[in-house]
Amino acid sequence: MGSMRVLVTPRPFDSKGQEHLQRLRDAGYEVEWNDTGKRYTREDLEDRIGNADALLTGNDPLDQDMLARAKKLMVISKYGVGLDNIDLTCAKEMGISVYKALGANSDAVAEFAVLLMMAAQRQLYQLSQGAKSREALRLVGHEAAGKAIGLVGLGAIGRNVARIARALGMSVLAYDPAVSQANAPEGVMCVTFDNLLASSDVISLHAPLTASTSGLIGADEFAAMKPTAILVNTARAGLVDADALYSALCSGRIAFAAEDIELKERPDATVALDNYLITPHAASFTVEADQKTMAVSVDNIIKGLEQHK
């Protein structure tokens, strides 16, 4: 029996993660990584996954058909924390261990969520565009201090947002079915979802995308928000109903929405709105988060394969 093979698909490993790939080789594993400079296509992955004992993946489509090709696969390590691209039920049935890089990018994403919030409050994009056109548009914004932020999800990212928001002088509300007031961070008040929607000046989403959270924010939820509310989404596009979002922004049902998501998940009509800000799922893209995520992802590969020996 030859040495076990690890397939690494995220592009950053080629240019910035060779020391982490070397750790896999030092542990005795053969390593194949994506050195194409482009995302693997589905066909690229289909050609390679059958030889892999472990897969370090980004957002590759690991559905039932893809996993059926992975006859040798024992471990999947996610370069990140969202597992919605992986058929977890199928992986479990096949005996594949699935890991995510918990905590590795929580500082980066939390800081970006607050950045989006403040950009919306102060109309930063509009101010900058006006100034670049030599127009002195001194738009009147809002301060964070004294406002209430409602966090949907109190995992590592949500807790970091809470810490920063408190430092800005905000009151912090949170809804997370897995967190009670007894184990909530200091200064965070756990409330019902309905209470959070009605009471928050800013609503920031930090929940995973699952069958139960898909479309979590829809027409009824927008109707329950303050008309001055700002929605921030650095989690997944699927948490927010696209049609309801467009309608809420067009009608002034809420004041503003800022999302860090895959661009293809919002129509051009929404992207063009003046009270909508979108960035291309880049919240976790910092030098520090890259290195931490690579390190944890590789740790999970080594740990997982050791457990399967």
Strands 202-205 and 75-78: unpaired
Q: Which two tokens stand for residue 210?
A: 């699952």
> C-alpha distances in angstroms, 97 versus 45, 55, 291, 305?
19, 10, 23, 9
Integer Cα distance of 94 and 297 in angstroms: 21
Q: Which two tokens stand for residue 30?
A: 């053969």
Radius of gyration of the chain (CA): 21
Distance of CA 104 to the CA centre of its chain: 12
Answer for the pair 177, 184: CB distance below 8 angstroms, yes or no: no
DSSP-derived 3-state class of residue 307: helix
Catalytic residues: 236, 265, 281
Integer Cα distance of 65 and 46 in angstroms: 10
Answer for the pair 231, 176: CB distance below 8 angstroms, yes or no: no
Answer for the pair 232, 116: CB distance below 8 angstroms, yes or no: yes
Tokens 């995973």 belong to which residue?
Answer: 208
